[in-house]
Chains A and B, each alone.
Chain A
Amino acid sequence: MFGYYLDLARRSLQRTPVLTGLMVLAIGLGIGASMTMLTVLHVMTDDPMPGRSAYLFRPYLNPVPLRMNRGMGPDPSINLTWPDAMALLHARKGTYQAAMAGNSLVVTPVQGRLRPFTADGRMTTRDLFAMFGLRFVAGAAWSAEQDDGAAAVVVVSRSFAQRVFGKTQVVGSVVSMGGHDFRVIGVVSDWAPRPMFYVDASEKRYAGADAFFMPLSTGMALNLGTNGNQSGWGSDENNLHSPTVTWLQFWVELDSPAAVAGYRRFLYDYAASQKAAGRFQQPASTAHLYGLMGWLGKQHIVPGDVNMQAGLALIFFGVCLLNIVALLLAKYLRRAAEVSVRRALGACRRDIFVQFSVESALIGLLGGAVGLVAAELGLWSVRQRPDDYAHLARMDLPMLALALTASVLASVAAGVLPAWRAASVAPAMRLKSQ
């Protein structure tokens, strides 16, 4: 029966090529626009650490005074102060924990022919490598002693090694960064999760990557500074050790629900003790433990423009669907005569309804195909844009399947009302009027 309906639908669509074309085009444009923007949203909000993200957590503490003149710029409580980060680090309440911050250093390559260049990297404590699962190509992370002892060592990314030394087997070599010599003790394969969940808001989450990693203590001892947001509210805004300057990020790995609950309690107790000591003004309940995805949600990493474009695309899709409902209604109701004949020959209402729904689905399928082409064009145009996420805008298989399914479902849904109206034509009346 289905094949027969399909054939009927094909004939019917061929009879009215212009109208069919209009409907297919409308669905195609609607699907194309929506899929373009949903794909962009999808790649921007994707899980950066599949399989691992459920175990990674970001402690949140708020040392900012209750009354603070906030002009512009990011929320100072998004980062941690040095004393708080050190307290969490030394408590060792998680499987792994690391305090970190970004910095930029001028690298003077060993070969004289290369000009000095600026590289972005991270000063961090050694657990970062194990916690985030970085893969070592050569060498290893620094030791706990080097972590505490401000050793002049560095772990570099494979492409950084390639750029500076022209090879990746560089363990033991010395590189000059920020006017200081560092001994390379490890090379990791290039690592840039998207979004870069662990950096602070000032960095490029969709285009950046860390070229080197060095002990946090080393960065502090050499006074290398940070390139991230540094917000202070006391008198010593330039002192990174100050309890009133926030600039550090902190991540902890917790492997069981019990560990998570324990860490929550620990964090609350820490905030309460700081409040009792008069350092924190905010209530201890503002301390919070965010999961990786929850942290990304809190940070609103999707720019307002992208959300607005997605909203517009969905409204546009709605307009297209309204359009199709109206056109299908007109088309199906015009075939009252055909329906009447079929009803008189014994077809029941359900048969008519199914027949018309098959026709709607066919339109949806054609529209979906047009929509995929439109979405590819749309994504291509997104990739031409200057935004840092633009280069990620590519359709993957799930999005492709979603586009086709959405198109067929939408057009079948759009066809329900017209098909039902067509099926409820009273055959006797129509036959008489012929």
Chain B
Amino acid sequence: MLIRPIFASLRKHRLATFLIAMEIALACAVLCNACFLIVNRVQQIRIHSGVDESALAAIRLTGFDDGQGVDLNARVLSGLAKVPGMQSVSVISAVPFGGFANNAGIATDAAGKQFAGVVNFYSGGPGSFKALGLQLIAGRLPQDGDYQPVIHFVPDDALVWVTKSLADHAWPGVDPLGKEFWVGKPHFRVAGVVAHLARPAPGEGGPSTIDWSVFVPSQPGAHFAGSYLLRASPAQLPRVLRDARAAIARIAPDAVLDTAASQSVTNLRESFFQQDGSMARILLGVIAAMLLVTALGIVGLASFWVAQRRRQIGIRRALGATRGDILRYFQTENFLIVSLGIALGMLIAYVLNAVLMEFYELPHLPLYYLPIGAFALWALGQLAVLGPALRASHVPPVVATRSV
């Protein structure tokens, strides 16, 4: 296949060629970056929470005085335990994806000089550690004596369980067991490490901090009441939660049930990531529309070129060119234009990525997105040009002998 005549003909249509190439370049840049954004969002949506999500639900009550806390805890714990199918009820400050984060900056020295980041503290009453289904990878399980009364927002001097990623961040390369940290005066000592435990609002401090959680065994009381963790078998959970919500009206008629927060963890997760999901879908839509318009442009232009060159095609056919030759001519032509566009598109993709990095705290566009984008556009170009090119290859040689 000779490329030179194609070049010669493209040179005659410099402007149109350049415009279509530019269009492909923009499409390529958007395609690469949008795919990257989608992958980022999907990764966020798919984070490990570290708990048995399908077996857990939360109940949150508001509108009671601190003074009623002890009484409320007692009524709710005993009342909800009677709901058929309930495996356990425990007091907890929050659940993953449930919002209501208890964030505080921690320091790894008593003077507070070595700042180790803002972490979330989960206060968990007796039974909650087991109910969450946390995976212990070092240290021991919390024991009865570890549950202490809440003074400020957590017990003031407590043994805690941290996640692996927090341990790696605060004490890199060292065994975290027995290590200490401070929040102002309150002091904590690591007694165990769990594989994962996502924040109640994962992602609020950036992707690297999703798992920066601390579990503090806490005794339910006046300052630690109103929020409960329910566990039931996944099949029964929806009914158990429905029954529990109905039972609350009887058990605690004076408190207000926060219906948005009293959900199964699966539902909480779904609503927490709803916006990311809808953004990913919009990006998919943008990609689809962009590729559609680009393909339409190629089809339109190729059809016109075929119509314009009917006579030339006829002459070439009369001179002995096969249908395949004509077909390949248009395919090669398209390949060249698309390649030009892709070359430009790679540059624009990087510029666009730099802009996105500036405004949206995104990482660098990994290099392998570029060849993927290139292949996609080559395929799209060949597909779009196939129709017009086939039509061209069916031009009979006899056209050459007719006048226009």
C-beta contact mask, A302-327 vs B, less than 8 Å → 1, else 0?
Answer: 00110111001101101110110111
CA distance A325 to B19 in the complex (A): 7
Q: Kindly state whether residue A130 has any CB partner on chain B within 8 Å.
A: no
Evaluate contact between A323 and B297: CB separation under 8 angstroms: yes
Evaluate contact between A319 and B304: CB separation under 8 angstroms: no
**Nearest chain B CB to A41 CB, angstrom units:** 14
C-beta contact mask, A396-434 vs B, less than 8 Å → 1, else 0?
Answer: 000000000000000000000100010000000000001
Q: Kindly state whether residue A334 has any CB partner on chain B within 8 Å.
A: yes
List B contacts of A115 (CB < 8 A): 249, 256
Q: How large is the interface on A (under 10, 10 to 19, 20 to 34, 35 or more residues)?
A: 35 or more
Evaluate contact between A330 and B296: CB separation under 8 angstroms: no
C-beta contact mask, A114-158 vs B, less than 8 Å → 1, else 0?
Answer: 011110000000000000000000000000000000000000000
Leading 4 A-B pairs by shortest Cβ distance: A71-B118, A106-B63, A323-B297, A326-B19
Q: Kindly state whether residue A215 has any CB partner on chain B within 8 Å.
A: no
Main secondary structure of the interface of A (DSSP, over half): helix
15 pairs from A and B in contact (CB 8 Å cutoff)? A19-B300, A19-B303, A19-B304, A26-B296, A71-B205, A116-B63, A118-B258, A305-B279, A316-B30, A319-B293, A320-B293, A323-B19, A326-B297, A327-B301, A434-B404
CA distance A318 to B292 in the complex (A): 14
Q: Write the chain A residue with the least CB distance to B209.
A: A72
Evaluate contact between A72 and B118: CB separation under 8 angstroms: yes
Q: Kindly state whether residue A298 has any CB partner on chain B within 8 Å.
A: no
C-beta contact mask, B7-36 vs A, less than 8 Å → 1, else 0?
Answer: 000000001100110110011001000100
Q: Kindly state whether residue B78 has any CB partner on chain A within 8 Å.
A: no
Apart from A319-B26, A323-B296, what 17 extra A-B contacts exist at CB < 8 Å? A18-B303, A19-B300, A29-B292, A72-B204, A72-B206, A305-B275, A309-B282, A313-B286, A316-B30, A322-B20, A322-B297, A323-B20, A326-B23, A326-B300, A330-B16, A330-B301, A386-B271
Evaluate contact between A304 and B16: CB separation under 8 angstroms: no
Choose among A22, A71, A386 the residue that contacts B105 (Cβ–Cβ < 8 A): A71
Choose among A73, A304, A421 the residue that contacts B103 (Cβ–Cβ < 8 A): A73
Q: Kindly state whether residue B79 has any CB partner on chain A within 8 Å.
A: no
List B contacts of A111 (CB < 8 A): none
**Nearest chain A CB to B329 CB, angstrom units:** 18
Evaluate contact between B297 and A315: CB separation under 8 angstroms: no
Q: Kindly state whether residue A216 has any CB partner on chain B within 8 Å.
A: no
Within 8 A of A (CB), among B280-309: 282-283, 286, 289-290, 292-294, 296-297, 299-301, 303-305, 307-308
CA distance A420 to B296 in the complex (A): 24
Evaluate contact between A417 and B15: CB separation under 8 angstroms: yes
CA distance A137 to B64 in the complex (A): 32
CA distance A23 to B209 in the complex (A): 48
Evaluate contact between B305 and A330: CB separation under 8 angstroms: yes
Evaluate contact between A71 and B286: CB separation under 8 angstroms: no
Binding site for B on A (CB under 8 A): 18-19, 22-23, 25-26, 29-30, 33, 69, 71-73, 106, 115-118, 179, 235, 304-305, 307-309, 312-313, 315-316, 318-320, 322-323, 325-327, 329-331, 334, 385-387, 417, 421, 434
CA distance A305 to B44 in the complex (A): 15
Q: Quick one: given A72-B118, A72-B204, A386-B275, are A331 and B289 in contact (CB under 8 Å)?
A: no
Q: Write the chain B residue with the least CB distance to A106.
A: B63
Choose among A18, A319, A331 the residue that contacts B23 (Cβ–Cβ < 8 A): A319
Q: Write the chain A residue with the least CB distance to B271.
A: A386
Q: Kindly state whether residue B43 has any CB partner on chain A within 8 Å.
A: no
Evaluate contact between B105 and A329: CB separation under 8 angstroms: no
Evaluate contact between B301 and A322: CB separation under 8 angstroms: no
Choose among A73, A179, A308, A318 the residue that contacts B360 (Cβ–Cβ < 8 A): A308
CA distance A33 to B290 in the complex (A): 11
CA distance A235 to B117 in the complex (A): 19
Q: Quick one: given A22-B300, A71-B118, A117-B256, are A316 and B290 in contact (CB under 8 Å)?
A: yes
List B contacts of A73 (CB < 8 A): 103, 118, 204
List A contacts of B27 (CB < 8 A): 319
CA distance A315 to B303 in the complex (A): 26
- Name which of B20, B63, B105, B256 has the most chain A CB atoms within 10 A of its CB: B63
Evaluate contact between B16 and A72: CB separation under 8 angstroms: no
**Nearest chain B CB to A104 CB, angstrom units:** 8
Q: Quick one: given A304-B360, A319-B26, A319-B293, are A326 and B117 in contact (CB under 8 Å)?
A: no
Q: Write the chain B residue with the least CB distance to A33.
A: B289
**Nearest chain A CB to B214 CB, angstrom units:** 14
List B contacts of A19 (CB < 8 A): 300, 303-304
Choose among A312, A331, A434 the residue that contacts B30 (Cβ–Cβ < 8 A): A312
CA distance A115 to B22 in the complex (A): 63
CA distance A319 to B359 in the complex (A): 23
Evaluate contact between B300 and A330: CB separation under 8 angstroms: yes
Q: Kindly state whether residue B233 has any CB partner on chain A within 8 Å.
A: no
List B contacts of A329 (CB < 8 A): 15-16, 19
List A contacts of B312 (CB < 8 A): none
**Nearest chain A CB to B14 CB, angstrom units:** 10
List B contacts of A334 (CB < 8 A): 304, 307-308
CA distance A329 to B117 in the complex (A): 59
List A contacts of B23 (CB < 8 A): 319, 322-323, 326
Q: Kindly state whether residue B236 has any CB partner on chain A within 8 Å.
A: no
List B contacts of A322 (CB < 8 A): 19-20, 22-23, 26, 297
List A contacts of B293 (CB < 8 A): 26, 29-30, 316, 319-320, 323
CA distance A327 to B37 in the complex (A): 31
Evaluate contact between B286 and A312: CB separation under 8 angstroms: yes
**Nearest chain A CB to B50 CB, angstrom units:** 20
**Nearest chain B CB to A412 CB, angstrom units:** 17
Evaluate contact between B289 and A326: CB separation under 8 angstroms: no
CA distance A387 to B275 in the complex (A): 7
CA distance A30 to B254 in the complex (A): 55
Evaluate contact between A316 and B274: CB separation under 8 angstroms: no
Evaluate contact between B15 and A106: CB separation under 8 angstroms: no
**Nearest chain A CB to B64 CB, angstrom units:** 8
Q: Quick one: given A22-B299, A72-B205, A316-B286, are A118 and B15 in contact (CB under 8 Å)?
A: no
Within 8 A of A (CB), among B158-211: 184, 204-206, 209
Q: Quick one: given A323-B23, A329-B15, A387-B275, are A304 and B359 in contact (CB under 8 Å)?
A: yes
List A contacts of B322 (CB < 8 A): none
- Name which of B16, B115, B118, B293 has the most chain A CB atoms within 10 A of its CB: B293
List B contacts of A22 (CB < 8 A): 296-297, 299-300
Evaluate contact between A116 and B254: CB separation under 8 angstroms: yes
List A contacts of B144 (CB < 8 A): none
CA distance A179 to B62 in the complex (A): 12
- Name which of B256, B286, B297 has the most chain A CB atoms within 10 A of its CB: B297
Evaluate contact between B115 and A69: CB separation under 8 angstroms: yes
List A contacts of B254 (CB < 8 A): 116
List A contacts of B206 (CB < 8 A): 72
